[in-house]
């Protein structure tokens, strides 16, 4: 199962559940006025260059339109940052109960924390329905435990 975390820069300095609901309803729309958007418009290539400064081992891949994908160099970890004009989606495989999952989460949380500190990104975990203005390393273990408790129930048997 592929796990995902969504990252956005709210225009107001905070992100609410209502804003996320609007994004999931209208995020694919091209006819919404800019004033309606609760999150800032981004330049994907500039953001990809910023991430490359943090981790020059990331492998850039052209996405659809102006979107950019950054792949973690170890393909076995399956980490991909998908950068679009309104945010970033971090994809990685769900791995239950292991040190391997803690390593992947540590890498992911490093990226999330960097984007929060550098640009003001907030994170949203749609699987666990958790919204956060910044994730820190203390929450890695909490997230892993929550994933281990919740995710097996969502997986087909």
What's residue 29's pLDDT?
85
How far apart CA 144 and CA 102 sit, in angstroms, is 7
Q: Give the number of domains in the chain.
A: 1
Structural domain that includes position 17: 2-154
Question: 73-112 burial, b if ≥16 CB within 10 A, otherwise e?
Answer: eeeebbbbbbbbebbbbbbbebbeeeeebeebbebbbebb
Q: Assess whether pLDDT exceeds 60 at residue 59.
A: yes
How far apart CA 24 and CA 58 sit, in angstroms, is 28
What's residue 69's pLDDT?
98
CA–CA–CA angle 113, 116, 118 (5° rounding): 105
Q: Assess whether pLDDT exceeds 80 at residue 52.
A: yes
pLDDT in tens, 88-143: 999 988 766 566 777 888 898 889 989 999 999 998 888 777 777 655 555 556 66
Task: Assign residue 76 the CATH number of its domain.
Answer: 3.30.310
What's residue 46's pLDDT?
97
């Amino acid at each position: 199962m592929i796990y995902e975390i969504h990252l956005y820069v709210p225009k107001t300095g905070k992100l609410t559940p209502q804003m996320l609901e609007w994004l999931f309803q209208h995020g694919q729309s091209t006819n919404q006025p800019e004033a309606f958007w609760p999150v800032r418009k981004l330049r994907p290539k500039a953001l990809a260059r910023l991430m490359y400064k943090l981790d020059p081992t990331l492998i850039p891949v052209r996405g659809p339109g102006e979107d950019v994908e950054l792949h973690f160099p170890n393909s076995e970890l399956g980490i991909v940052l998908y950068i679009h004009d309104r945010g970033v989606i971090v994809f990685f495989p769900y791995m239950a109960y292991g040190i391997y999952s803690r390593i992947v989460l540590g890498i992911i949380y490093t990226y999330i924390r960097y984007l929060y500190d550098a640009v003001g990104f907030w994170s949203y975990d749609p699987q666990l329905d958790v919204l956060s203005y910044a994730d820190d390393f203390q929450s890695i273990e909490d997230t892993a435990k929550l994933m281990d408790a919740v995710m097996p129930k969502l997986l087909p048997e």
